[in-house]
Amino acid sequence: METESPEKSSRLETVVAVLIAVATVIGATVAWRASVASDSAGDADFAGLKASVNAEEPRALNFVNAYEHYGAYTSYSRYSRLGDAISQDLESGADTEEEAYLLDRQRAESYDLAKANQDLFPNRFLARDGNYRVDREMGESWADASREKDLSPDPHYAEADKLRAKTNLLLATLTVVAMSLVFYTLVEAAGERFHTVMVALGTLFLVGGTIAAIVVEFTG
Amino acid sequence: MNISEERFKKTIAVLIAVVTTLIAIVTYLQSDAGARDDAANRDTKRYSLESFGRQVSGDACVNFDYNSAYQAYYELDLLAVSAANAGDEAAAISPFTFAEPLYDEQGNFTDYAVADTFEYGASAVAVLFDYDHMQDGQDVVFKVYVDGEEDPSWRLIDKWVLGTSGGAEKPLSFDYSYANVLRPGFYTVEMYVDSHLGQSGSFVIGDP
């Protein structure tokens, strides 16, 4: 049975020690990048939640204000048309003087109430057909708010999910790199015949894991 | 070094390798679980915030629907019922529907294409409506406004002959020539019954 010379064995031990050191450094680097990605994912989550708060506040306020205005417009429209209807009744002639007086009073009241409501909504959102465009008012308020604050949480959440996936992939490559340490550790235990096989397998995992980590880092 | 000591060292090396592998796998799984946990926590806060916003918006809509729109409808409906009970019924004209008449190859009418906006080139638009409480002999006037100005050529003055209730149509068309089409603009049609505005509605003819 052929045995390795002490010189060859010593060289192998040195090579394996260097490879273990290299694998450890690469593993530490990959772990650092994974940690950075994880931290960035947390930051993106926070930015997303901040944008969610920013978005919900004006959304709620816009709805409340716009529907308040719409309510005022509805009252204005109702009293105004009621006044018109009473005017038409008056024009077609009241049966008695007392009825004419009452109708005139009701008409005046309706128009007064319409006028009181007219100042409670912005008339620039009235459409050509006379309807109130509550969607336009909310759209304008939303546009104003979006000029001042970030109101789009979705891109932040997508970024956070992407970074979390990157962290996981980096940790998966770290596992592959760690497998190389297993094979390097087994070099001594495997016996002389399998020294080269173990070193080759360890190096294969080390190189594969490193390449995968680089790809994930620059494309993830 | 004797054989058993060497075997012991080899066993320890294999065990270290196995433990290292297990630790690597567990670390990966722990990280994956942590990432899912973070995402779930974030989604909890996110949906909580969004649902609160939706609740406030929904409350605003419901308040308007019930306290403004429905109440106005209810009060006006009561007034109408009260007037009807007192024998003061006005003609009721339903909101106008606008439609372009469609014809087959032989030129026979087939159907209406209902719309609020018609492409340039439409030669006819029909005003469709239902009516109730009308009486034959009542004065009926149709006025058509294009971009806010009345077009006198469209004005129709007539006596009502269609009975008390039913459905009717008023065509806006150039019957005498296929070459003429409705000009682009914002059209408003008003229908007066005995000098009272019974109904009005609008449609658009698009630009060429």
pLDDT of A1:
44
Put simply, the answer to whether B49 touches A182 (Cβ < 8 Å) is no
Task: Between B80 and A8, name the one with better pLDDT.
Answer: B80
pLDDT of A6:
64
CB-nearest to B57 from A60, A157, A175 is A60
Residues B103 and B71 in one domain: no
- Cβ burial, residue B152 (10 Å; 0-12/13-18/19+): exposed
Q: Which two tokens stand for residue A175?
A: 């596992």
Residues B50 and B97 in one domain: no
Domain end, chosen from B30, B64, B89, is at B89
Task: Between A8 and A204, name the one with better pLDDT.
Answer: A204
Q: Is the pLDDT of residue A159 over 70?
A: yes
Q: What are phi and psi of A42, to 5 degrees?
A: -65, -40
* Domain around B45: 1-89
pLDDT of A19:
93
Q: Is the pLDDT of residue A13 over 50?
A: yes
Best of A24, A39, A64 to mutate (most B CBs within 10 Å, chain B): A64
How would you write A103-131 as a 3-class SS string? HHHHHHHHHHHHHHHHCCCCHHHECCCCC
Which residues does chain B have within 8 Å of residue A82's beta carbon, measured at their own beta carbons?
76, 79
Q: Is the pLDDT of residue A214 over 90?
A: yes
pLDDT of B2:
67
Best of A176, A186, A192, A201 to mutate (most B CBs within 10 Å, chain B): A186
Listed range (A90-99, A148-157, B121-130, B142-151) with the worst mean pLDDT: A90-99
Question: Which value does ipTM take for this structure?
Answer: 0.75
Residues B44 and B134 in one domain: no
pLDDT of B50:
92
Q: Which two tokens stand for residue A33?
A: 């990048």
CB-nearest to B17 from A45, A160, A186 is A186
Residues B132 and B195 in one domain: yes
Q: Is the pLDDT of residue B116 over 70?
A: yes
Domain end, chosen from B40, B69, B89, is at B89
Q: What is the mean pLDDT of residues A27-53?
A: 94
pLDDT of A145:
93
Q: Is the pLDDT of residue A68 over 90?
A: yes
Q: Are B76 and A84 in contact (CB under 8 A)?
A: no
Residues B40 and B111 in one domain: no
Q: Which helix (H) or strand (E) holds A101?
A: helix A97-118
Q: Say how many C-beta atoms besides its own lie within 10 A of residue A217's C-beta.
A: 18
Which residues does chain A have within 8 Å of residue B76's beta carbon, measured at their own beta carbons?
78, 82
Put simply, the answer to whether A178 touches B21 (Cβ < 8 Å) is yes
Contacts of A189 (CB under 8 A, 6+ apart): B9, B10, B11, B13, B14, B17
Among chain A residues, the shortest Cα distance to B35 is held by A164
Which residues does chain B have within 8 Å of residue A129's beta carbon, measured at their own beta carbons?
188, 202
Residues B102 and B189 in one domain: yes
Q: Is the pLDDT of residue B178 over 60?
A: no
CB-nearest to B68 from A74, A168, A182 is A74
pLDDT of A215:
96
Residues B60 and B108 in one domain: no
Residues B64 and B108 in one domain: no
CA distance A63 to B64: 10
Residue for token digits 């019930």?
Answer: B66
Look at residues B106, B111, B124 and name the one whose alpha carbon lies nearest to residue B172. Answer: B124
CA distance A123 to B86: 37
> Which pLDDT tens digit goes with each residue over B127-155?
999 998 888 888 999 999 999 899 888 89
Q: Are B33 and A171 in contact (CB under 8 A)?
A: no
pLDDT of A129:
77
Q: Which two tokens stand for residue B65?
A: 């629907």
Q: Is the pLDDT of residue B113 over 80?
A: yes
Q: Is the pLDDT of residue A136 over 80?
A: yes
CB-nearest to A59 from B23, B53, B68 is B53
Domain end, chosen from B27, B61, B89, is at B89
> Which pLDDT tens digit goes with each residue over B64-102?
999 889 998 898 888 888 877 776 666 678 889 999 988
pLDDT of A2:
47
CA distance B16 to A186: 9
Q: Which helix (H) or strand (E) holds B202?
A: strand B196-205
Which residues does chain A have within 8 Å of residue B202's beta carbon, measured at their own beta carbons?
128-129
Residues B137 and B41 in one domain: no
What is the full DSSP assignment across B3-27? HHHHHHHHHHHHHHHHHHHHHHHHH
Among chain A residues, the shortest Cα distance to B52 is held by A56
pLDDT of A165:
93
Q: What is the mean pLDDT of chain B?
A: 86
Q: Which two tokens stand for residue A107?
A: 């008409």
Q: Where are the domains of chain A?
A: 6-219
Distance from CA of B108 to the nearest CA of A (A): 34
Distance from CA of A129 to the nearest CA of B (A): 7
Q: Is the pLDDT of residue A3 over 60?
A: no
B154: CATH: 2.60.40.2550
CA distance B165 to B177: 33
pLDDT band (50, 70, 90) for residue A166: very high
Q: Which helix (H) or strand (E) holds B172?
A: strand B166-173
Collapsed DSSP state (helix, strand, coil) of residue B94: coil
pLDDT of B145:
93
CB-nearest to B14 from A157, A161, A189 is A189
Residues B106 and B187 in one domain: yes
Put simply, the answer to whether B9 touches A41 (Cβ < 8 Å) is no
> Which pLDDT tens digit goes with each residue over A125-134?
988 777 899 9
Residues B54 and B98 in one domain: no
Residue type, A160: A
Residue for token digits 């109408």?
Answer: B80
Within the 76-95 window of chain A, which residues sit less than 8 Å (CB to CB) from chain B? 78, 82, 84, 88, 91-92
CA B135 to chain centre: 35
What's the pTM? 0.63
